[in-house]
Structure 1
Amino acid sequence: MTRIDRNNTDDHDEKAPAEPGRTVDLNQALLEGLGGVSGMVYTALPVIAFVTANAFCALPIAIGIAIGVGLVLTGWRIKRGERFSSAVGGLLGVVVAGGIAAWTGSASDFFVIGIWAALLCGVVTLISLLARRPLTGVVWNAVHGGGHPWREDRPTLLAHDIATLAATIVFAARFAVMQWLYLADATGTLALAKIAMGTPLTVLTVLVIIWSFRRSTKRLIGPAPAE
C-alpha cells in the first residue's frame, strides 16, 4: 500500500531527520525499562523471600525480611549505576505491599496492589480499543509530535489494535488468575503466578508494541535520510 506522506511544510521537513532516531530511542527505553534477566530477578527475589519466610515465621517477620531483601537489592542497583528512581521504585512497591499485608493481617494481601493494577490497566486498554483509539497508537503519535494521521492508515491502525489487544489480554489474564488464587488464599501459588505472569509476559507484550511502533514509523514517517 502507498505510504501516507506528511504535510510538506518547512517545519515538518526540519524535524523529519530526528523522528526515526527518536523511535529507536523509545524502543530501547522500553526494553531497558524491563531490566532484562536482572530485572526479573530483582522483581522475584523479594516475593520469594516473603513467601518462604511466611511459611516458617510470623507475618510481620516475613514482611520485614522481604523489605530487607528489597533494601539490599536497591543498594546493589544504585551501586551498579542504575537510575535512582528505578531502583527505589522497586523497593517502594515492596514496602507498600508489605504495609497492606501488615494492616490486614493477611499474607495474600501482599499481592493485592498488583492484582488491581492489572485490572485497571486492562480496563484502560480495553476502553481505548472500543473507542477506536488503541492506546499504543495514541502514545506513538504523541511521541512523534501528535500530528500524524495514524488512524486513517488502516495497516497502522491494525498494528496498534493488535499491540493494544495483546496488552489487554495479558492484563486480563493476570487479573483473572491472580484474583482467583487470592480468593482461594493460595499465597504460595499466588507468588508463583506473579513471577510467571510478570516480566516474561511483559517482555512479549513490549515486543509486540515495538513492532507496532516500527511499522507506524515506516509507513508514516519513513527511514532516516542518508547523511
Structure 2
Amino acid sequence: MSAADVTATHAAHDTVEAALRAQLSKALGGMRGIIEAAVPTIAFTAMWVGTSELKLSLIVSIATAVVLLLVRLVQRSTPQFVINSLIGIAIGAFFATRSGDAKDYFLPGILYNAVYAGAMLLSIVTRWPVLGFLIGSVTGDPTAWHKDPGLVRLCSKLTWLLMLPCLVRVLVQLPLYMFDQVVTLGLTKIALGWPLQVAALAAMVWVLARGRTPIQSTG
C-alpha cells in the first residue's frame, strides 16, 4: 500500500476496526459477486441431475461462467470475482475430465479449503495470524501490528472465524466425495459457499464493532 493509500485510509477510517470492516466487506464483491460465484455450480449440478452427462454438465457450467464474464467486460465493471470462479471451474473440469468421474469436479475445492484451513491454523499457532497482515496493509507496515499483544489476539480471533467456513466445507464435503454423492456435493458446495462466508464475515464485523484501536501510520 502506498503512502497516498494509507493517507486515504486514515481519512476515511479513524480506527483499525473500521478500516478492517470496510476491507472485509469489499472482499466478497457484494451480492452480485455472491451470485456469480454460485451460478456456474448450480448450472453444473442441475445439468448433471437432468442428464448424468459429465461433458455436457461441464460445458454448461463453463459457458455460464464465460457469459457472466462477458457481461462484466461489456459493463466495464471489475471481472475479478467471475475470473476467480472461472479458474476454479476450469480446474474442477480438468480433474473431472481426466478421471471421467463427476465427483472430481468438486475435488479441487475440497483440497483448496483443506490447505487454506491448515495454513490459517498454522498462522494462529505460530502467533502470526494471517488477518494481521490485513492490518499491516491498513497501517502501512506489514509487521508492526505483531508488537501489540492486543492486536495479535484480535487477529487470531478473526483468523479463526475466517478459517471455520473452510474447515466446515472439508468436514462435510470430503465424506460425500468419498461416497460418490455428486448431487449432494453440488448442493452443499452452494449452501456452504458464499452463504457460509457471509455468516463468517458478519461474525468478524461483530467482533470488530467492539474495538476502537486508533490507526497509527508506521510507514
Superposed pair shares fold, TM > 0.5? yes
For 1:52, which of 46, 54, 58 is the aligned residue?
Answer: 46
Structure showing greater Rg: 1
> SS of the residue aligned with 2:145?
coil
Residue 71 (str. 1) matches residue 63 (str. 2): no
Trace 1:18-29 onto structure 2 (pairs within 5 A): 18-19=9-10, 21=12, 27-29=21-23
Distance 1:78 1:215 in 2: 39
Residue 108 (str. 1) matches residue 109 (str. 2): no
Identity of aligned pairs, percent? 25
- The alpha-carbon deviation at position 108 of structure 1 amounts to 0.7
The one-letter code sitting in structure 2 at the alignment partner of 1:201 is L
Residue 120 (str. 1) matches residue 115 (str. 2): yes
Distance 1:154 1:133 in 2: 11
For 1:41, which of 35, 39, 42 is the aligned residue?
Answer: 35
- The alpha-carbon deviation at position 18 of structure 1 amounts to 4.8
The one-letter code sitting in structure 1 at the alignment partner of 2:12 is G
For 2:140, which of 145, 151, 157 is the aligned residue?
Answer: 145
Tell me: CA distance 1:107–1:200, structure 2 relative to 1, closer, same or farther (3 Å). same
Distance 1:34 1:183 in 2: 30
Residue 129 (str. 1) matches residue 124 (str. 2): yes
Distance 1:172 1:85 in 2: 24
The superposition leaves residues 165-204 of structure 1 with CA deviations (integer Å, 9 ceiling, x where unpaired) of 1122221111111111111111111111111111112123
> SS of the residue aligned with 1:150?
helix
Where structure 2 has 5 or more consecutive residues not aligned to the other structure, the ranges are none
- The alpha-carbon deviation at position 212 of structure 1 amounts to 6.0
Tell me: CA distance 1:157–1:211, structure 2 relative to 1, closer, same or farther (3 Å). farther
1:150/1:156 contact within 8 Å kept: yes
For 2:176, which of 173, 178, 181 is the aligned residue?
Answer: 181
Distance 1:160 1:17 in 2: 23
1:20/1:221 contact within 8 Å kept: no
Aligned to 1:158: 153
User: After the TM superposition, which of the residue ranges 67-76 and 207-216 deviates more from structure 2?
Assistant: 207-216
Tell me: CA distance 1:87–1:47, structure 2 relative to 1, closer, same or farther (3 Å). closer
TM-score by length of structure 1 reads 0.78
The one-letter code sitting in structure 2 at the alignment partner of 1:182 is Y
1:137/1:150 contact within 8 Å kept: yes
1:141/1:148 contact within 8 Å kept: yes
> SS of the residue aligned with 2:127?
coil
User: After the TM superposition, which of the residue ranges 27-36 and 190-199 deviates more from structure 2?
Assistant: 27-36
The one-letter code sitting in structure 2 at the alignment partner of 1:40 is I
The one-letter code sitting in structure 1 at the alignment partner of 2:155 is H
For 2:24, which of 24, 30, 33 is the aligned residue?
Answer: 30
- The alpha-carbon deviation at position 136 of structure 1 amounts to 0.7
Aligned to 2:197: 202
Distance 1:120 1:80 in 2: 35
Aligned to 2:84: 89
- The alpha-carbon deviation at position 150 of structure 1 amounts to 3.2
Distance 1:42 1:17 in 2: 30
> SS of the residue aligned with 2:76?
coil
- The alpha-carbon deviation at position 111 of structure 1 amounts to 0.9
